């Protein structure tokens, strides 16, 4: 069993912990996710695929700040609180079946406690999202496989 003292210390000190996952194979995507946002602020844990560790950590910090101020996330809707120049992120919920493989450390940390998790998706320069034809920005193939299907509009 791994020592979760650093996670516990970060959550006690900052309200959350950031975990960066490096791919083991070429066909996997790097990602960073939070542990503790649900426990501290009642929001979902947030995963960010494709960005470098420092930028992902910065954006998770924005999530923590917003949650601390009482803000909530709306799934599948453009959110302009994270990026500049008129670009919006979109949050999509992660399927519970993917938690053990993709959020294993969080799953172990929370034990029997329920938590939810989302992926923060970014548009490309033309405003397209990864599930839209022609998207060209971040590699997020794995993220698309673990989120719930879009609700019909």
Q: What is the pLDDT along the chain (153 residues), one digit of tens a residue?
A: 456 789 999 999 999 999 999 888 888 889 999 999 999 999 999 999 999 999 999 999 999 999 999 999 999 999 999 998 889 999 999 999 999 999 999 999 999 999 999 999 999 999 999 999 999 999 999 999 999 999 886
Cβ pair 105, 7 in contact under 8 A:
yes
**Alpha helices (runs of H) in 28-111, residue ranges in sequence order:** 37-41, 53-68, 99-102, 104-110
Backbone Cα Rg of the chain? 15
Q: How far apart are CA 57 and CA 97, in angstroms?
A: 25
Task: Tell me the CB-side half-sphere exposure of residue 82, using CA atoms within 13 A.
Answer: 25
């Amino acid at each position: 069993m791994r020592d979760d003292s650093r996670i516990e210390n970060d959550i006690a000190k900052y309200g959350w912990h950031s975990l960066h996952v490096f791919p083991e194979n070429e066909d996997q995507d790097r990602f960073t996710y939070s542990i503790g946002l649900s426990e501290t602020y009642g929001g979902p844990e947030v995963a960010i695929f494709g960005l470098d560790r420092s930028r992902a950590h910065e954006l998770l910090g924005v999530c923590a700040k917003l949650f601390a101020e009482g803000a909530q996330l709306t799934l599948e809707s453009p959110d302009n609180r994270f990026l500049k120049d008129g670009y919006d992120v979109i949050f999509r919920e992660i399927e519970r079946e993917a938690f053990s493989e993709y959020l294993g450390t969080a799953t172990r940390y929370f034990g029997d406690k329920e938590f939810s998790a989302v992926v923060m998706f970014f548009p490309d320069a033309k405003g397209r999202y990864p599930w839209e034809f022609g998207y060209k920005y971040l590699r997020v193939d794995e993220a698309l496989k673990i989120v719930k299907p879009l609700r019909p509009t």
